[in-house]
Amino acid sequence: MENTVEVKTTSMPRIGDKAPAFKAVTTQGEIDFPKQYEGSWVILFSHPADFTPVCTSEFMTFASMEERFAKANCKLVGLSVDGLYSHIAWLRTIKEKIEYRGMKDVEVKFPLIEDITMEVAKKYGMMQPGESATKAVRAVFFIDPKGIIRTILYYPLSLGRNFEEIYRVLIALQTADAFSVACPADWQPGDDVIVPTAGSCGVAKERMESKKDIKCYDWFFCTKKLGKDEVLQKITKK
């Protein structure tokens, strides 16, 4: 390989896999992942490096939204292949000095993993040598209360993530689970949801003729109303 340092990505977890386990040092003490998060959702995300501008904008945004994620029973855990003291210094700088898009005095309270050895980053396929041999890409793993990976997003180094989309994905996953439905393109809480496709000719006929709460665009594509309050009441903590 020319001009590329070879980095072994020892594994690449997939949707539906059990989240790979690890113990790590973080800015909030040691963590035992995903064991200590059992019973809640957790978003494990990586960023390329401390003291970089896109990452700083991301951390300020994510930290500002932490309470919304907590209300949806979801904890946040960050990672980069920097060391603990770099993490601490960067998070202090963010709190003390950075004012960005109306956000200031932002305290990052969720754990940020130190991963100088890249052990965790490699376990989760966060090292993608075509993009960078020395920095993790911007990966996002949504892990459910049973420790199963439910969604994975990857962004390149040059693009900051959309954290409203990350919140939308979390709420959509929880809605699909809680109401046994699927969420269509661009779904937001309050929009119609998709009911499971009819599994028999009889149900297909019934659905097409239904004048009640189900609307069918064709026999295989039926939706029903699901109010925003109903969604949020079911999935958010009081």
Considering only the stretches 48-56, 77-85, 123-131, 219-227, report the one whose residues sit in contact with ligand BEZ under the rule CB under 6 A. 48-56
Contact criterion met (CB below 8 Å) for 120 and 78: no
Burial tier of 19 (Cβ tally within 10 Å: 0-12, 13-18, 19+): buried
158 belongs to the binding site for ligand BEZ (CB under 6 A): yes
The residue (of 48 and 147) whose beta carbon lies closer to ligand BEZ is 48
98 belongs to the binding site for ligand BEZ (CB under 6 A): no
78 belongs to the binding site for ligand BEZ (CB under 6 A): no
Exactly one of 9, 27, 40, 52 binds ligand BEZ (CB under 6 A); which one?
Answer: 52
3 belongs to the binding site for ligand BEZ (CB under 6 A): no
Report angle CA 168, 155, 26 to the nearest 5 degrees: 85
Considering only the stretches 53-61, 85-93, 117-125, 189-197, report the one whose residues sit in contact with ligand BEZ under the rule CB under 6 A. 53-61
Contact criterion met (CB below 8 Å) for 110 and 70: no
β partners of residue 214: 224
Least CB distance to ligand BEZ at residue 47 (A): 7
86 belongs to the binding site for ligand BEZ (CB under 6 A): no
48 belongs to the binding site for ligand BEZ (CB under 6 A): yes
Contact criterion met (CB below 8 Å) for 28 and 63: no
Exactly one of 17, 30, 36, 53 binds ligand BEZ (CB under 6 A); which one?
Answer: 53
184 SS3 class: coil
CA 44 to mean position of chain CA atoms: 7
Least CB distance to ligand BEZ at residue 138 (A): 9
- Distance from C-alpha of 203 to C-alpha of 151, rounded to nearest angstrom: 31
**127 to 146, contacts with ligand BEZ by CB under 6 A?**
135
Active site residues: 55
- Distance from C-alpha of 23 to C-alpha of 117, rounded to nearest angstrom: 13
- Distance from C-alpha of 122 to C-alpha of 146, rounded to nearest angstrom: 22
Query: Which parts of this chain interact with ligand BEZ (CB under 6 A)?
Result: 48-49, 52-55, 135, 157-158
